[in-house]
Amino acid sequence: MTRIEARFAKLRAEGRKAFVTFVMAGDPDAGTFEAILAGLPAAGADVIEIGMPFTDPMADGPAIQLAGQRALAAGQTMSRTLAMVRKFREGDAETPIVLMGYYNPIYSRGVEKFLAEAVEAGVDGLIVVDLPPEEDDELCLPAQAAGIDFIRLATPTTDDRRLPKVLSNTSGFVYYVSITGITGSASANAEMVAPEVARIKAGTDLPVCVGFGIKTADSAREIAGVADGAVVGSAIVDRIGRGDAPEQVLGFVRELAAGAHG
C-alpha cells in the first residue's frame, strides 16, 4: 500500500475527509518554505502538494505564478526541491508528498533520472498538468512502474466520452478541477461540484478530491461534504506572498483543515 492509499484508508476508517495543501517549493525562500512544509502535517494537512517552479505555468493564476517567480529568483531548482522532500522525510515518514507542475523540468532532467531521485527522496505522487492520457508512455506509466502514483486532473469540460480515458491510468486519487480557467480565478460551488464528483466516482474506486476556488474554511467544509477531500493552494500561497510568517500561514492552514475535516 502506498502512502497515499494508506492515508485515504485511514481517513475513511476515521470517517473524515482529506485536506490537501499546495505550496510552491522554495517560496519565498528556502528557509521559510522548509519551516512551512515541516509544519503542515501538524496543522492538519493530510496530503501535501509541492509545486515545481517553472517559467511558463500556463494553468496557474497570478498567485501561483508569482510564487514560482519568487522561488526561481531565490535560486530554486529541481535538485533543491528533491532535497527539501528528502529533508522533510527525515521527520515524517507518513504524510504523502505529491509533486505538481509541468513536464518540461522533468523532461529536461531526464525521466529515468528524475523518477529514481524522486523515489529516493520520498515522493509519493505526481500531478503533471500538461501531459494528457495520450502521452502516458512519457511519464505516467514509468512513474507507476517506479512506485509513484500518477494523479490525473478531471475538469468541468471532461465529458462522458473523455472521462474513461482520463481515469484509465490514474492512481492515488483523482483531482477534480471545480472551475474552468486558471487557479485562484473563481470560487468553488458545492452544488455544481456534487454531481460531477458522483459522475467521476461512478467510473473509478479512487478518492476524488476537489481543488481550485476553495479559499475559506466554510468553502473547504462545503466541498469536502460532497467529495473525498478539498485542495487549497492559491489562498495559502497568497498568505506567503504577502509576507506572513510561517506560523501565521500555518494558523490559516489550521482553519482550513478544521473546515475540511468538519
Which residue numbers are catalytic? 49, 60
* Residue 143 backbone phi and psi in degrees, to 5: -65, -45
Q: Strand 47-51 to strand 153-154: parallel, antiparallel, or no bridges (unpaired)?
A: unpaired
* Helix (H), strand (E) at residue 180: none
Return the number of other C-beta atoms located less than 10 Å from residue 258's C-beta: 15
Nearest in space to 209 (alpha carbons), one of 102, 135, 98, 58:
98
* Residue 37 backbone phi and psi in degrees, to 5: -55, -45
Nearest in space to 25 (alpha carbons), one of 76, 69, 66:
76
The C-alpha cell that represents 144 in the structure block: 507507476
